[in-house]
Amino acid sequence: MEFLPEPEPDSLAEALIAFANTDGGTILVGITPSGEVTGGVFLEDVEGALRAAERRCRPPVVTAGIEQVDTEQGVIVAIRVPRSTELHSLDDGRVLIRAGAENRPLGGEEIRQLASTKSTGDFEAEVVPGASVDDFDDSVIEEYIEKLKERSRRPIGGELLREGGFVTDDGRPTVAGVLLFARNPRIWLPQSGVVFVRFPGTEPRAENGLAGYGRREEIEGPLARVIEKTWELIWGEMGVGAVVRGLEREEKPEYPPFAVREALVNAVSHRDYRIKGRRIEVRMYSDRLEVISPGGLPGYITIDNIVDEHFSRNPRIVGGLFQWGYIEELGLGIDRMIEEMVQDGHPPPKFDARPYSFTVTLYNARDRTPTPQWVHTMNQRQLKAIQYIRENGSITNREYRRLCPGVSAETLRLDLADLVKKGVLLKIGAKKGTYYILK
C-alpha cells in the first residue's frame, strides 16, 4: 500500500509506475502512513490528480478501479493498481519498482533485467480468432523464405513460421503472423495499415483554406507490402531538386531517402497494435513530413535516450522485418536518420512522444551554407543544447540537466566540454558561475 495525505499528481505517478512494474498494490489518498485521516479529500479531486498522473506514465498505467471509502474522520479514496505485463517509466525516463514501503529507481542493468521479465511482446503472440494459415499469402511467405536464406546462408527448416512466433504449436496464426503474412490483415486487425495524406500547404487544409486535403490513400496488406506501397507514395509526392558539382548535375530529393524509410519502418515495427481505431498516419505538408505512430514510446525509452537505448514492443515483427531486409542493422537507425538529415543540410528530426502516440517530423528546409564538420558528429543531446542556446543566448550546466533529464551529470559535462574542444561553444566564467555561448 501507498499512503498519500493529499492527491498530488507527481506522487501518484511514482506510485502508479512502481506498483505496475512490481506486483501491483493499492494507493490510499487522504491518509498518512501513520494512519491519520487528513479530511478534506474528495473523489473528484483525486480523479483529476489521477488523470494528470497518468499523463506522466510511459506507457499509460491502467488502474483496476477507484473507490471512495467514508470513515468517521473523513473520506479516503482507494486506487487499485494491478501488476502490468509492460515495463513502465515516468516521462523523465525514471523506472521505479516497489521495494517495501518505498518507490525505488532502477539503474541501467536493473532496467534491462526487469524488461526481460515483462511480457511486452505478448499481444503480437496472441492467437487471432477466426484466422487460419489458409489466409496467409503463399507468395509473401516464399519471398520471406528467400530473403531469410540470403541472410542466414543455412538450411531453412519446415517449422519456420512456428519458430518465428507467427503460428502457435498447433498451427493457429498469431497477431504477428497475420500482420506479416495474411492477404488482408484488416479483416481481423482493422487498426493495421497506413493512411497517407498530402496537404498543399503547411496546415492540414485544402487549397482553398477549408477543411480537406490534396490527396488521401489507404494502404493495406501484409506489413512488407504496406512499407513498399507507402514508400512509393511518398517518393512519388516528394519534390526533387538539383545541385551541380563540377560538371556533374546531381539530383537531390526533398528528404534523405534513408531518413524517410527509417521513420516509416520504425512506425510499422514499433507501433502499439493493441490500440484499435487508429492506423499509422503519414502526413506530407509543403514544409515537412510527419509519421505518426499509435502508442507511446515502449518500455523505458524516452526522447533523451532514444539514440542510445533500444527496446522493442513487438520483437517478433521486428525480427521478421529484419530478416526481410527492411531493418538493416538493429538499433542504429535513429543515429543514422539524424546524421543523414544534418549532412543533407536539414534540421535534425523532431521527435514528439505522447502517451498514446509518437511522431517523427522531417523538415525539408535546407541550410544552403556548407555544413561544418562538427555538426555531423554531434549527438542528439548536443543538438538540443545548440538549439537551446540559439533560442536563449546561453546555457548553464543546470539548464542542460533540466533539458536532458535521466542523463548523468558527468555525461552532460563531457558533452559541453566536447563542443568547447571542437570550437563550437565558448566557456564563460568558472565553477557555479559557468555558462556557455556559441563561439
Within-domain flag for 231: yes
Is residue 267 over pLDDT 90? yes
* Judgement on whether residues 353 and 380 belong to the same structural domain of the protein: no
* Judgement on whether residues 267 and 294 belong to the same structural domain of the protein: yes
Evaluate if pTM is beyond 0.85. no
Compute the mean pLDDT over every residue in the chain, rounded to the nearest whole number. Answer: 86
Predicted confidence band of residue 242 (pLDDT cuts 50, 70, 90): low
Residue scoring higher pLDDT (434 or 228): 228
- Work out the burial of residue 123: count CB atoms within 10 Å of its CB; fewer than 13 is exposed, 13-18 middle, 19 or more buried: middle
274: number of Cβ within 10 Å: 15
Within-domain flag for 152: no
Query: pLDDT tens-digit profile of 357-411?
Result: 899 999 987 654 444 555 556 787 888 888 888 888 889 988 999 888 878 888 8
The DSSP code sequence of 326-353 is: SSSSTT-HHHHHHHHHHHTTPPPPEEEE
Listed range (39-48, 99-108, 331-340) with the worst mean pLDDT: 331-340
Which structural domain range is residue 409 located in? 373-438
Average pLDDT over residues 171-191: 95
The DSSP code sequence of 19-72 is: HHHTT-EEEEESB-TTS-B-----HHHHHHHHHHHHTTEESPPPPSEEEEEE-S
281 grid coordinates: 498516419
* Judgement on whether residues 381 and 272 belong to the same structural domain of the protein: no
Residue scoring higher pLDDT (205 or 358): 358
Taken as a whole, the chain contains a residue count of 439
Predicted confidence band of residue 80 (pLDDT cuts 50, 70, 90): very high
State how far the Cα of 291 lies from the Cα of 289, in Å rounded to an integer. 7
* Judgement on whether residues 332 and 392 belong to the same structural domain of the protein: no
Is residue 120 over pLDDT 60? no
Query: pLDDT tens-digit profile of 299-315?
Result: 667 777 777 777 778 88
* Judgement on whether residues 17 and 55 belong to the same structural domain of the protein: yes
Within-domain flag for 23: yes
- Per mean pLDDT, which of 229-233, 248-252, 380-384, 413-417 is the most reliable? 229-233
Here the CATH number for the domain that contains residue 39 is: 3.30.950.30
Q: Give residue 329's pLDDT.
A: 53
Q: Give residue 114's pLDDT.
A: 76
Within-domain flag for 124: no
Q: Which of 90, 114, 138 is the last residue of a domain?
A: 114
Within-domain flag for 136: no
Q: Give residue 249's pLDDT.
A: 54
The total number of structural domains in the chain stands at 3
Q: Give residue 245's pLDDT.
A: 52
Predicted confidence band of residue 340 (pLDDT cuts 50, 70, 90): confident
Q: Are 89 and 17 in contact (CB under 8 A)?
A: yes
Q: Give residue 312's pLDDT.
A: 79
Average pLDDT over residues 26-53: 93
428: number of Cβ within 10 Å: 12
Q: Are 55 and 262 in contact (CB under 8 A)?
A: no
